[in-house]
């Protein structure tokens, strides 16, 4: 981890979903919900393409993986996978969710978002739902520009892939950011990355932006949005309220 999130929270406990954890454990728990995308290439010598970050969220009893379509544009949704069971198993989702494109949103960044629903009953892995962040609507960012923001993801330059061994090592980072303003594009906001910048931002698309706020019962962490692009110390994210509406609009499978 790059930026110590617990340094801002201090010794206080923090609520993530329904769970209260010591501040020093917040990074570890949030990191569980930030995934490295593995795309299946079909080639024996290089079977995986590592294409950035994704965010795992749970809405009631439905589990979704959210990322950006530009990350996996050359791959079928069925070939987009994440690692479970301590990296021993790769799984793909059950149903693809996306934004319908039309003339009204032709130039908008939010249409880049997509998601895959994981119907947990279709998988043999026990407690698969615990790998997805419980989304509580009241905790989702409501536009407070003074909130403390943190970004998580897997920078491209911090990974090591050696298919001859074989060995794949990826490094997840968490870093702080401050709010700069709303973009002219719908549902899009801009952050200035303020944490230690010992890595490039390539690979962070699809990763989560969290806000940390203090409610009546103490500190809590909520989803602020999903990163869609960035560079030169700036990160652009789609508002979590839009992400929530996209997932809510996805009708459950029969």
- Distance between CA atoms of 91 and 203, rounded to whole angstroms? 20
Confidence (pLDDT) at 198: 62
- Distance between CA atoms of 29 and 34, rounded to whole angstroms? 10
Q: Is residue 140 part of a domain?
A: yes
Q: Is residue 254 part of a domain?
A: no
Confidence (pLDDT) at 85: 80
Enter the DSSP assignment of 73.
T
Confidence (pLDDT) at 89: 86
| Residue numbers in the chain where pLDDT is lower than 50 | 1-3
The number of folded domains in the chain is 1
> Exposed, middle or buried, 108 (CB in 10 Å: 0-12/13-18/19+)?
middle
CATH number of the domain to which 196 belongs: 2.40.10.120
Query: Which residue blocks in the chain are alpha helix, DSSP H?
Result: 6-9, 26-32, 240-249
Half-sphere exposure of 241 (CA within 13 A, CB side): 9
- Distance between CA atoms of 135 and 43, rounded to whole angstroms? 37
Which residue from 145, 150, 114 is spatially nearest to 30, judged by alpha carbons?
A: 150
Q: Is residue 135 part of a domain?
A: yes
- Distance between CA atoms of 121 and 125, rounded to whole angstroms? 9
Q: Is residue 104 part of a domain?
A: yes
- Distance between CA atoms of 50 and 57, rounded to whole angstroms? 20
Backbone angles phi, psi at 79, to 5 degrees: -95, 5
Number of H helices, E strands in the chain: 3, 18
Match 């479970």 to its residue by tokens. Answer: 84
pTM for the predicted model, two decimal places: 0.91
Q: Is residue 1 part of a domain?
A: no
> Exposed, middle or buried, 156 (CB in 10 Å: 0-12/13-18/19+)?
middle
Residues of the domain holding 141: 6-249
Confidence (pLDDT) at 40: 92
Confidence (pLDDT) at 164: 61
- Distance between CA atoms of 89 and 78, rounded to whole angstroms? 15
CB neighbour list of residue 107: distance below 8 Å, 6 or more residues apart:
185
């Amino acid at each position: 981890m790059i930026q110590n999130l617990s340094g801002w929270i201090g010794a206080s406990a923090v609520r993530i979903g329904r769970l209260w954890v010591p501040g020093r454990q917040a990074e570890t728990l949030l990191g569980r919900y930030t995934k490295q995308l593995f795309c299946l290439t079909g080639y024996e010598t290089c079977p995986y393409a590592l294409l950035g970050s994704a965010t795992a969220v749970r809405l009631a009893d439905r589990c979704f993986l959210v990322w950006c379509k530009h990350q996996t544009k050359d791959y079928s949704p069925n070939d987009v996978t994440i690692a479970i069971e301590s990296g021993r198993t790769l799984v793909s989702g059950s149903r693809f969710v996306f934004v319908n494109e039309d003339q009204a949103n032709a130039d908008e960044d939010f249409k880049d978002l997509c998601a895959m629903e994981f119907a947990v009953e279709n998988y043999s892995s026990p407690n698969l739902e615990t790998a997805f962040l419980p989304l509580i609507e009241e905790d989702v960012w409501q536009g407070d520009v003074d909130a403390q923001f943190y970004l998580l993801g897997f920078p491209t330059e911090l990974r090591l892939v050696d298919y001859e061994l074989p060995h794949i090592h990826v490094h997840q980072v968490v870093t702080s950011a401050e709010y700069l303003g709303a973009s002219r594009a719908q549902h899009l906001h801009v952050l200035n990355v303020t944490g230690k910048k010992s890595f490039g931002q390539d690979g962070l698309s699809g990763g989560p932006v969290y806000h940390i706020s203090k409610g009546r019962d103490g500190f809590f962490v909520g989803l602020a949005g999903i990163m869609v692009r960035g560079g030169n110390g700036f990160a652009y994210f789609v508002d979590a309220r839009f992400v929530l509406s996209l997932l809510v609009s996805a009708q459950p499978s029969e």
